Amino acid sequence: MSNISVGSVCSGIEAASVAWGDIGFNFQWFSEIAPFPSKILSTKHPHIANLGDMCEIPEKLKNGIVHAPDLICGGTPCQAFSLAGWKKGLDDNRGNLTLKFVDIIDANDEARKALGQNPSVVFWENVEGVLRDKTNAFGCLLSSLAGYDKEITVSRWPQAGIIRGPKRNIAWRVMDAKYFGLPQQRRRLYVLAGGKDFFPEQILFEWLGNHQKNNTAAKPDALPTPLVFTKQGHSIEVFRSYTDCLYSAYGTKWNGNAAAYNGSLFVCQNHRLRRLTPLECERLMGFPDNYTDIAGASATARYQGIGNSWAVPVIKWLGMRLIDYFNKKNKSNTAFNIDLSQFSLSARHIHLDNQSIGIDLSGDAINIGDGKTAYCSEKPVNDIFGDIFDVIDVTAAEKFYITPAGCKGILRRKEERKLSMNQRLKEVLKQISSEWSSEKIELISRKQSRGRFSTPSPAKNTEEKFSYSLF
* Residue positions annotated with a catalytic role: 78
In the chain, the amino acid numbered 219 is K
- What is the crossing angle of helices 299-307 and 278-285, to 10°? 10
What is the rounded distance in angstroms from the CA atom of residue 338 to the CA atom of residue 228? 50
Looking at 246-343, which runs of residues are DSSP E strands? Answer: 266-269, 272-275
Of 2, 15, 147, 136, the C-alpha closest to 73 is 15
Assign residue 428 a region: left if phi > 0, alpha if psi is -120 to 50, beta otherwise? alpha
The dihedral through the CA atoms of 137, 28, 15, 381 has a sign that is positive
In the chain, DSSP finds a helix count (H) and a strand count (E) of 14, 17
Count of beta carbons in the 10 Å neighbourhood of residue 415: 9
Backbone phi, psi, residue 273, to 5°: -95, 135
H/E element, 238: strand 234-238
Assign residue 440 a region: left if phi > 0, alpha if psi is -120 to 50, beta otherwise? alpha
Give per-residue burial for 117-153: e unless 16+ CB within 10 Å, then b: eebbbbbbbbbbbbbbbebbbbbbbbbbbbebeeebe
Strands laid side by side in the 187-194 sheet: 49-50, 25-30, 4-9, 71-74, 121-127, 187-194, 169-176, 160-164, 357-360, 348-349
β-sheet bridge partners, residue 170: 163, 193
Of 177, 203, 202, the C-alpha closest to 189 is 177
Question: How big is the CA angle at 94 (ends 183 and 26), to the nearest 5 degrees?
Answer: 60
What is the rounded distance in angstroms from the CA atom of residue 291 to the CA atom of residue 278? 10
Compute the chain's Rg from CA coordinates: 24
3-state class (DSSP) for residue 177: helix
What is the rounded distance in angstroms from the CA atom of residue 310 to the CA atom of residue 312? 6
